[in-house]
Structure 1
Amino acid sequence: MNDRATCHSLLDAVERYFDLMFDSEVSRFDQVFAPSAQLHGLRDGNLRLLSALEYKNALASGPSPKSKNAPRQQEILLVDFASPTQAVVKVRVRIDALLYLDYLAYHRINGAWLITAKSFHVEHRYEVSKS
């Protein structure tokens, strides 16, 4: 159903997501998330809901994993196309001391793949050394 160019453009969008999670460069946020995106996940037993703007502000408010020399870990676990303009991507990504399992809903909007919904799960917490 999907041609090679469509697949590659989605994978490029996932790479932009990984880059944003590592360097927190919010000037590129709108190239990753749709303005209407919502994020849901359980953290410490509580459901967290964030709008795209709230998440952008959260990324901008603290040091990035890159600036803290945190390890970079990322992998794509699943890509599932519903159509040439809609897909779900399951990824594992480490953000500083937390390893997340994310389900990212993508829509191709004006030719660009953007995340319209993110469901996250904290899979593992790493001990952070105090050096």
Structure 2
Amino acid sequence: MTEGPTLAPLLEAVDRYFTLMYDNDVSQFDRVFAPTAQLHGIRDAELRILPVRDYRTLLVSTPSPESKDAPRLQEVLLIDVVSPAQALVKVRVRIDVLQYVDYLAYHRINDTWLITAKSFHIERRYEPTGT
């Protein structure tokens, strides 16, 4: 299901996610993540589970990739629109020295596409650049 009226707002939501991952501007956080969202992924050989409020706190306390002039990499790898209210988007995004492949579960809540679950995988680790 990829009708224009459903796909365009979803792509805008994905773009908001990419922007948040680069600038850490948490004033936009509630336009990206649902308040009940959870993040899951393997990091340092352990399953990491983060409630969205903890992820928001992490973003606030971490210098943004933008502030470090880190390269920006973002691409949409797959979009699966299940219905006008549910979709799965697979993306690749670089956040500072880590490159992730994320599965983002979206639901349309109050006419806005929001991430309700994020499953992340660290695909590549770049060497930090000295400035």
Range into which the TM-score falls when normalised by the shorter chain: over 0.9
The amino acid across from 1:53 in the alignment is R
Distance 2:120 2:31 in 1: 20
Deviation per residue, 1:19-43 (Å, 9 max, x gap): 0000000010000000000000001
Q: TM-score normalised to the size of structure 1?
A: 0.98
Distance 1:113 1:26 in 2: 17
The amino acid across from 2:113 in the alignment is W
- SS of residue in 1 equivalent to 2:53: helix
- SS of residue in 2 equivalent to 1:68: coil
- SS of residue in 2 equivalent to 1:70: coil
Note closer, same or farther for the CA distance 1:2–1:77 as it changes in structure 2 (3 Å cut).
closer
1:17 match: 17
Distance 1:102 1:129 in 2: 24
Residues 1-131 of structure 1 aligned to structure 2 (within 5 Å) = 1-131=1-131
Distance 2:96 2:2 in 1: 35
Q: Structure 2: give runs of 5+ residues left out of the alignment.
A: none
Q: Structure 1: give runs of 5+ residues left out of the alignment.
A: none
The amino acid across from 2:101 in the alignment is L
**What is the aligned-residue RMSD (CA, Å)?**
0.7
Distance 2:129 2:108 in 1: 41
The amino acid across from 1:104 in the alignment is L
The amino acid across from 2:116 in the alignment is T
Distance 1:31 1:57 in 2: 16
Identity %: 63
Q: TM-score normalised to the size of structure 2?
A: 0.98
Distance 1:37 1:53 in 2: 9
1:2 Cα deviation after fit: 4.3
The amino acid across from 2:104 in the alignment is L
Distance 1:70 1:29 in 2: 21
1:97 Cα deviation after fit: 0.1
